[in-house]
Structure 1
Amino acid sequence: MKNAETPVFKLVLFGAQSSLGNALMDELLARQHEVIAIVDDLNRHAPRPGLHFKIGALGDADQAEQGAAGGSAVIALLSPGDLAAQVQASEALVAGLARTTIRRLLLVGDFDVLDEPGKYIEAERACVDRVVDGLQRSALRWTLINMPPTLADEGLARVAAGMVDMLELDLHRGEHLNFVV
């Protein structure tokens, strides 16, 4: 039963089809939050109480804004490996969220270059610098999170629980984090 005094997030989740996305949906629903999962095919997903689906992507600011509409916070799981695509998606997200009332963002991607810049070429460092610069110039309360390595279901559940804790407690704003499982 839902406690009327407990604040409820209406969380928008980009990247819901991934393993981490599924773990996040499970954790959020278990804590009685609502989830708006942004997907590319509505027919592939089974309905669950508190779970809503929208067609969308992070191709441009309009798509990001439309996907995020109606939410109170956003978690975006970016595809790891292609830093240029992460820049494009994060810029679309920042521009789209600027047109909404949403201010809380957890951005999950390939940000290891911030921890070990010497291991990356200048172009890769420049990509991640663009992401960080865009976030710092925005009005968003953001957190950058390195995509965790491939984990078993138990590890994914623990990472998802930590991310939901960050949202509920409004922790780690303006920080870059790694989950150690």
Structure 2
Amino acid sequence: MPKPDPLTCFADALIEAVIDREGRYVNHGADRGGATCWGITEAVARAEGYAGAMSALPRETAASIYRRLYWHHPLFDQVALRAPQIAAELFDTGVNMGTAVATGFLQRALNALNRAARDYPDIAVDRAIGPRTLSALDGFLRTRGAAGETVLLRAMEALQGERYIALAERRPSQEAFLYGWLANRIGDG
């Protein structure tokens, strides 16, 4: 029997953890995403071809959607080859805020940490992983080493936390979620 691919195992563990954290069917009135099951919104489930009741969305279908839309499509799997902690953060933030927002946090942090482009060139904050973003990440890790991944992670989490607070300030209905976002989505959560 072939040995399981470590990157696939890593992705599977992230997906299972987010599904466990998100839980079964929820339809909270203040949640702008509407009804969800396993954290998958009805709009996403429908766009991915699921036609059944949201409360009956199979866990396996949710996992497949996460793998496709929140791991492979945004190229977070490519980030995982270089920096697993960063890929895990991108995945979790992408599930909660959208993959483009998560990628924007990475790009902004990389630009802010490149010491005025001495370590690697600035990159466009286009909110998509591509060759330039991966090259910048490689340059950052080459310059800062293993400890750099932790610092980059903290920078991304700082941006994420600021966005949560700003969202709650702009839309008081979102205060219902702020504590949970900060407790479960920032740091070791």
TM range (shorter): under 0.3
Q: Name the structure, 1 or 2, with higher relative contact order (CA <8 Å, separation 6+).
A: 1
- Whose strand fraction is larger, Structure 1's or Structure 2's? 1
| TM-score when normalising by structure 2 | 0.27
| TM-score when normalising by structure 1 | 0.27
Pair member with larger Rg: 2
- Whose helix fraction is larger, Structure 1's or Structure 2's? 2
